[in-house]
Structure 1
């Protein structure tokens, strides 16, 4: 289960200097079945194993990882995002057994526009249990209640019916199609763009 994040590059980042000096602490969030937390160095093997699975990443906007160094850079980037105040990436553990089952992100946070992008990726063994919906709902609650966002958007490959279903269940509206938006290993694909406004959010 994946929903990829594409930075909102078309908009000028008028608040970059402010964000660089205003860290955004990664939250610790808990649901009935899951714990969302900051990534640690001990997660290197788990995140590499997840992101190297071709089946899991078949609808992702980049190819599966082949080098463990990618996992180390991923975790380092998590800390940079926190320091810069540009977003948060959280590991997702199952409360029942403490197992790492995936991760989620609220990225491209812009305090001026009060907007950000949602993304998530879960191991295939965790699919079909509602974990993506449960995770995204907890992250959205933090986005709207704590960060006071007005809009959260998400993108997913048009072939990724499961991810689209998660977003629509959470109240996201499909706002359009980005044609031939991604090219991964020569495979060209379209993306659906979804948006959820604060006034539409139902916790």
Structure 2
């Protein structure tokens, strides 16, 4: 069962940062996994700006430090999660490792932990939860304790993992048959979006 904790008192400030960076994309959206939404988040607007990314990473690191002070390793997922986890790790003074979560899960060669660690998976946006579930299962099989997942926003319930988010999703999500935009006859503005 997922436990979401909105720990950051500055959720409104994070929402303002998303809006100010142009990351919020309102409009009828069909996400890559098939769910419909009232909009989506262009995380690249944050990831490509090192100053904005570092501010978010600092807040994410503070949250991890409060909730999981016993963490000994941060784990990033491919692409943006790997970049973000390195920024967050810098603020915590922790090592970072990267797990391939597509195909056969495995460590990226840059850092393969040699002993059992107490790991926190760091990601930006959790869409379906598949990547974090695959990474968590891999870490457990490798002998590591998974304390939980730290993400900006989560649209999914990744099983029994504890998930800390900076804020709730800014746009509601529906299955296609429950989408009010579809019911009203509005065509999607965006399709095939992977946040």
TM-score tier by shorter-chain length is 0.3 to 0.5
Q: Which has the higher contact order (CA 8 A, sep 6+)?
A: 2
TM-score by length of 1: 0.31
TM-score by length of 2: 0.32
- Name the larger-Rg structure: 2
